[in-house]
Structure 1
């Protein structure tokens, strides 16, 4: 049996380790993306965009949805026109970034009238992600 003070130190040390394993501050994460359409009526078209979210919202466990209320921002150029998250037909409920165990699965962003379609990663829609340098600036401690 351990003396009480050793058990207390072990508990405190374990607690501090868990606390330190989490990021100290939230970091905005930005990805650029390209979409190349290879099938259907838009075959041969290419679209570009970016999205940004705050990593403090990500638990990295199971399926997660990050939306506008969580700080998600989106920019996409579609047929030469720039669109932001506010252009989504179901704003502010959408757009949403869907993650599985912390990994990006798709961006649900829809700007066309009519029925919402999940296009990200579907056959004929080649999506490539490019992470930006997401290192936060160090505070000025003068």
Structure 2
């Protein structure tokens, strides 16, 4: 009976040793720096470092853009206020009606001849140079200062 127990004990030890050998080989392949998970972890770590550097650079650029846009917005608001004051002062001015004077007949004929000559000269230039396209829609929109602030 002891002999059978010793044989079974030796067989169990040999099986456990073989199992440990297989596991160690698998673990070496798993942690291999070129092909295994170790390599993937190393590559991902390098990519995380690169992304952190890119993120810091993007933050720096966006902070500079934010400062520039803040300055431009301040200047635009100042100019808009000045334009509003100018427009308001234009409404306060009295309207001047043009005087209806009849030109002398000789002066009228002379001005008609000058106008016809001017049209003849300006028509070929107008045909060669197309007019620039006018922008459609609103060009300026006034925003409330409290809406655009981000804390």
- Give the TM-score normalised by the residue count of structure 2: 0.22
Structure with larger RCO (C-alpha < 8 A, sep 6+): 1
More helix by share: 2
More strand by share: 1
- Give the TM-score normalised by the residue count of structure 1: 0.23
Higher-Rg structure is: 2
